[in-house]
Amino acid sequence: MTRSRLIFAFIFLILFSISIIYEAHAHSMFNSAESTIGDFRVQIATLPEIPSNGEPMQILFRVTDRDYEEVDRFTMGVRIFYNDIQIDAIPPQSHQGGHWETDYVLERSGIHIFRVDLYDVAKDGGVLTYIFNISTQNPFGYAFIFSIAAGSMGLGAILCYIYIPRILKSRTKA
């Protein structure tokens, strides 16, 4: 390849990258969901996106109306189930604003069912229960991440093996 072609390819990649950055959008997190019951919508997410067993995670709750406007105040409790057995509960608490964050540790791998109870918002003054699945990473998850990383590094090594000798050869001719 000539030097002018390399410069052209480099400029093209820069311009292409800028257009990708301009079009960037936030992604919904892996362990995130939302549900609407009645006039209210509850959203839940975890940080990290895929929690590990025995490691602390942060659970993020957001309560809005149907138009995505955050409520001023809400009372929420959470019941946590594993294999259809309740293993823990967070007692109802009153919160100001539309957000609530709490730390939690899931001890077992697999899917946990979070039953989020929103108090005093139903038309009859009762409780609205929103159901969410939160999964934890099991040992297989580490093997999956390792295989993706190893494949990426292998592809990089193959590309370097192919193209670096060509670049060096073209420089020695010039």
Q: Please, what's the b/e burial string for 86-100 (b: 16 or more CB within 10 A of its CB; e: otherwise)?
A: eeeebeeeebeebeb
- Residue 29 carries which DSSP code? P
Tens of pLDDT along 86-95?
A: 999 999 999 9
Average pLDDT of the residues of the chain: 81
Q: How many CB atoms lie within 10 A of CB 116?
A: 20
Residues of the chain with pLDDT > 90, as a percent, come to 23
Q: What does the pLDDT read at residue 36?
A: 84
Model confidence at 120, in pLDDT bands (50, 70, 90)? confident
Q: Do 68 and 41 contact (CB within 8 A), yes or no?
A: yes
Q: How many CB atoms lie within 10 A of CB 141?
A: 14
> Which residues have CB under 8 Å from 75's CB, separation 6+?
92, 93, 94, 95, 118, 119, 120
Tens of pLDDT along 50-101?
A: 888 888 999 999 999 888 899 898 999 999 999 999 999 999 999 998 889 9
- Mean pLDDT on 128-152: 78
Q: Specify the pairing of strand 111-119 against strand 99-105.
A: unpaired
| Number of separate helices (H) and strands (E) present in the chain | 2, 8
- Residue 116 carries which DSSP code? E
Model confidence at 21, in pLDDT bands (50, 70, 90)? very low
Model confidence at 160, in pLDDT bands (50, 70, 90)? confident
Please determine, for residue 146, whether its predicted confidence score (pLDDT) is greater than 80. no
Among residues 82, 78, 128, 118, which one has the least CA distance to residue 98? Answer: 118
The CATH number of the structural domain formed by 33-137 is 2.60.40.1930
Model confidence at 25, in pLDDT bands (50, 70, 90)? very low
Order of strands across the sheet with 85-96? 85-96, 73-82, 111-119, 128-135
Alpha-carbon radius of gyration of the chain: 25
